[in-house]
Structure 1
Amino acid sequence: MRFLSDTYVVFLRALRLSLTNPTWMFISIMQPILYLTLFGPLLLEVAKTPGFPAGDAWQVFVPGLLVQLGIFGTAFVGFGIIAEWRSGVIDRMLVTPASRWALIGGRVLHDTLLVIVQGLILLGAAYVMGLRVPWSVVVVGLFVVGLLGAAFSALSYAAALSLKSENAFAPLVNMFALPILLLSGILLPMSLAPFWLRIVSDANPIKHVVEGLRAVFRGEIASPETAIGVVVALGFLLLGAWLGVRVFKAQTK
């Protein structure tokens, strides 16, 4: 199919650009390990606090880190497409017969692959530090990371290509990043928060993804929490794909 070949070409181009930047690759690999090393020991003490969720500290902390990786590992990729637009790369792509779905899909596929690799490294480091879960849990965890990575990659490209300015894009990302981080229980479970803050956090859809993935790590793969988390992640993916393609198509008008 033409769509698949076009997607592969865009994906391969993005992958080659990443592999030619070893410093960036090193930082991407080290980031999840630093989170585990620097924050994990603190959570071991927090796990003794009344109200801490079921499961050991790693079963609570690692799923949150995976969700964080899926979101923030791709939320800033829009900076790259702004540079490509400014240099004329996007305009040259848009005059080709390539599908607009392929132009966004190849980039998203590349970003998704990178966050899944980071997720594997994170889980490997967590295993060394004491995490013990079945392989089925690892597969589901990486699947959710991939969904979130693809979703926020597409949303990032859509926002960046709409704004076409780093000065506008950076504040937009930061405006959403802080509420997502603080009101989703990614680092600290919201069960430790005051009642009013737990109510506010319920309006944050990412919280339900975090709770669903924590249920998976407790071995509750078929639980309602897990189903809700996966559905929310899929919803973000559909929204991101729709907006991404819509913005790419708008550039040709």
Structure 2
Amino acid sequence: MMTSTILTLARREFIRFVRQPHRVAGSLGQPVLFWLFLGSGFTPSFQGPGLSEMTYLEYFYPGVLMMMMLFTSVFSVITVIEDRDQGFLQGVVVAPVPRLAIVLGKVLGSAGIALFQSFLLLLAAPFLGLPLTVSGSALVIGSMILCSLGFTTLGFAFGWGMRSTSGFHAFMMIFLMPLWILSGAMFPLSNLPGWLDVITTLNPVTHAMTLLRAGFYAPAAEALAQPGVLSALGITAAWVIAGMIASAQRVGVREEGAPLG
């Protein structure tokens, strides 16, 4: 019963997405254009980490993957608000299914949408000359799965209690953009001011970015042996678990209606 509910909800999310071509094109095209224009513009003046001859297009590539996963994952969960307005969620909530099944169905469906788009962009990796290995690719894909799940649970936890899609969109943009910018996605995090260094260290997306970037440049075993990468994996996994628990608790709380009269 639980598995059937999860798969049905997840499938519904994905089918709804692919049946909206403008949504597919917009959510995929914006990050790609952002990467091409910004990457090409900053490459002449960019100095890679250490003494590397990395171009900004190459450095920014994992950051754009993270951007796509973050924004697609979170904004796919906006359907929670739409489903509540249309009465669909009320019917699901009162059904004899575990609340966790509702969370997992919505989260897996939205995360699947983000991964579908991110995997399309991942096809560009060989053309950038990135030294991907088989185990490194597995680490990249595993990182992407964890990141998508983490972002989706975050969006679900916030979106469940909101009544307006425009309000959700505005709030999440203010909340998400700093998380992404201060993760090392756009610029190296070395030699930052002390106060900014503290913020980036506390930012969970920073650790997800570290994990994702590591798989592009080393086999999985070698990458996870690097300082900070294994802890980044632990922090990202803990973030996914915490987000799942928070989302399940949000669904389990019965919201009071507006007072009569």
Smaller-chain TM-score bracket: 0.7 to 0.9
Rounded to whole Å, the distance in 2 between the matches of 1:140 and 1:32 is: 22
Matched residue of 1:190: which SS?
Answer: coil
TM-aligned CA distance change 1:101 to 1:55, over 3 Å:
farther
Aligned length: 251
Matched residue of 1:163: which SS?
Answer: coil
- Residue by residue over 1:196-225, the C-alpha shift from the partner in whole angstroms, topping out at 9 and shown as x without a partner, is 533442222322222233233221422232
TM-aligned CA distance change 1:3 to 1:252, over 3 Å:
farther
TM-aligned CA distance change 1:31 to 1:251, over 3 Å:
farther
Rounded to whole Å, the distance in 1 between the matches of 2:255 and 2:199 is: 41
**Counterpart code for 2:95:** T
1:34-73 aligned within 5 A: 34-48=33-47, 56-57=54-55, 60-73=59-72
Report the alpha carbon displacement of residue 55 of structure 1 after superposing the two structures with TM. Answer: 7.1
Residue 225 (1) aligns with residue 228 (2): yes
For structure 1, which segment, 116-125 or 89-98, has the greater mean C-alpha deviation from structure 2 after superposition?
Answer: 116-125
TM-aligned CA distance change 1:52 to 1:65, over 3 Å:
farther
Report the alpha carbon displacement of residue 48 of structure 1 after superposing the two structures with TM. Answer: 2.8
- Residue by residue over 1:17-40, the C-alpha shift from the partner in whole angstroms, topping out at 9 and shown as x without a partner, is 122212212223323432332222
Rounded to whole Å, the distance in 2 between the matches of 1:186 and 1:240 is: 22
Aligned residue for 2:24? 25
- Residue by residue over 1:42-73, the C-alpha shift from the partner in whole angstroms, topping out at 9 and shown as x without a partner, is 34334436x55857335532222222222222
Rounded to whole Å, the distance in 1 between the matches of 2:51 and 2:174 is: 29
For structure 1, which segment, 29-38 or 73-82, has the greater mean C-alpha deviation from structure 2 after superposition?
Answer: 29-38
Do the aligned residues in 2 keep the contact of 1:70 with 1:149 (CA within 8 Å)?
yes
TM-aligned CA distance change 1:212 to 1:53, over 3 Å:
farther
TM-aligned CA distance change 1:12 to 1:252, over 3 Å:
farther
Aligned residue for 1:145? 144
Aligned residue for 2:259? none
Rounded to whole Å, the distance in 1 between the matches of 2:126 and 2:251 is: 41
Matched residue of 1:198: which SS?
Answer: helix
Rounded to whole Å, the distance in 2 between the matches of 1:97 and 1:54 is: 58
**Counterpart code for 2:249:** R
Matched residue of 1:96: which SS?
Answer: coil
Do the aligned residues in 2 keep the contact of 1:185 with 1:210 (CA within 8 Å)?
yes
Aligned residue for 1:186? 185
Matched residue of 1:184: which SS?
Answer: helix
For structure 1, which segment, 146-155 or 64-73, has the greater mean C-alpha deviation from structure 2 after superposition?
Answer: 64-73
Rounded to whole Å, the distance in 2 between the matches of 1:45 and 1:249 is: 53
For structure 1, which segment, 53-62 or 230-239, has the greater mean C-alpha deviation from structure 2 after superposition?
Answer: 53-62
Aligned residue for 1:246? 249
Aligned residue for 2:239? 236
For structure 1, which segment, 183-192 or 34-43, has the greater mean C-alpha deviation from structure 2 after superposition?
Answer: 34-43
Rounded to whole Å, the distance in 1 between the matches of 2:27 and 2:166 is: 24
Do the aligned residues in 2 keep the contact of 1:10 with 1:106 (CA within 8 Å)?
yes
Aligned residue for 1:3? 2
1:72-221 aligned within 5 A: 72-191=71-190, 193-194=192-193, 196-219=195-218, 220-221=222-223
Rounded to whole Å, the distance in 1 between the matches of 2:21 and 2:236 is: 31
Report the alpha carbon displacement of residue 176 of structure 1 after superposing the two structures with TM. Answer: 1.6
Do the aligned residues in 1 keep the contact of 2:149 with 2:240 (CA within 8 Å)?
yes
Do the aligned residues in 2 keep the contact of 1:64 with 1:186 (CA within 8 Å)?
yes
Rounded to whole Å, the distance in 2 between the matches of 1:225 and 1:236 is: 16
Q: TM-score, normalised by structure 2?
A: 0.84
Report the alpha carbon displacement of residue 164 of structure 1 after superposing the two structures with TM. Answer: 2.1
Rounded to whole Å, the distance in 2 between the matches of 1:196 and 1:243 is: 29
